[in-house]
A = this chain, B = another copy of it.
Amino acid sequence: MKSIEKAVSALQLLVNSGGELRVGETSRHLKVTRSSASRLLASLASGGLIEQDPATQRYRAGILAVQLAASFHRNFDLVEQAQKEMDELARTTEHTVWLGVLSGTEVVVLKTARGSQPIQFTVEPGHRLPAHAAAMGKALLAVKPDAEIRSLFAASLDPVTKQTLVSIDDLLREIAMSRLRGYAISNQELFDGVKAISVAFEDPHKGMNIAISVSYPLFALEGGSDQSVVDALLLFAHHFGSRIGDKRWTK
């Protein structure tokens, strides 16, 4: 069903273009004529998935998208269940806690819980982070076999900071280390001066993976050690993992 796949591509483009899309822009990226792009967007708008601004003629997300997302969150009760415990984790560590899922080579942030630290790094739910640079990304990738990871990152790894791993082999080595360790680390690979650690969970019913991460600025470390944060995260993983029935954490 090529036309539908093209339509979905247009929606991805909409997200990547900051929420607004024009017909000409769409036609160029999808390599179709403006007439086709016009009809494509009009069709998507027919059911309210997107809608056209009457003033600027630009297209943006519609109400149906909100409803779909609502049904996503309603089904995906792992997220709801995690919320309360995330708050708890944010309180004990005093740092920022994120919950995310893997989408291709990126991590989509679904929930956040702010710690009590005055200086924080926050990300709005719905935003995306490069998986190879984020702790959550590595934790989620660690579930997959190396071959799959390698095919995912066919293109080269984009450097985000000076610390970002740009070689796939380095990434795989680091992920192997994460598997042994039980949690993944991002040491200033996503933001300078910010470290993050993360663990992944699998919902046995829905067959879906999520990750929880704690991010903290380097200067906030007491005595240069982040052992207390690691301990808190592992404690959280044990509690939450056993409650949702994740085999990796039940014992």
Contacts and interface: CB of A to CB of B under 8 A. Distances in A.
Given A19-B74, A43-B1, A207-B55, A108 B66 contact: yes
A15 to B, nearest CB: 5
Interface stretch (A122-130, A174-182, A217-225, A242-250): A122-130
B71 A12 contact: no
A7 B7 CA distance: 10
A55 B74 CA distance: 18
A40 interface: yes
Contacts of A1: 3, 7, 39-40, 42-43
Given A4-B4, A125-B70, A47 B15 contact: no
Interface in A169-217: 205-207
B205 A55 contact: yes
Chain A residues touching B, range: 35 or more
> Residue among A8, A74, A128 with the most chain B CB within 10 A?
A8
A14 interface: yes
A36 B65 CA distance: 23
Total identical chains: 2
Interface stretch (A56-64, A91-99, A227-235): A56-64
A48 interface: yes
A76 to B, nearest CB: 8
A4 B3 contact: yes
A66 B109 CA distance: 10
Nearest to A9: B47
13 contacts: A7-B7, A8-B49, A15-B67, A19-B72, A19-B74, A54-B207, A60-B75, A61-B72, A61-B75, A63-B101, A63-B108, A65-B65, A70-B127
Interface of A: 1, 3-5, 7-9, 11-12, 14-15, 18-20, 39-40, 42-44, 46-49, 53-55, 60-75, 101, 103-104, 108, 110, 124-128, 205-207
Given A19-B74, A74-B126, 5 more contacts: A1-B40, A12-B64, A49-B68, A55-B206, A60-B71
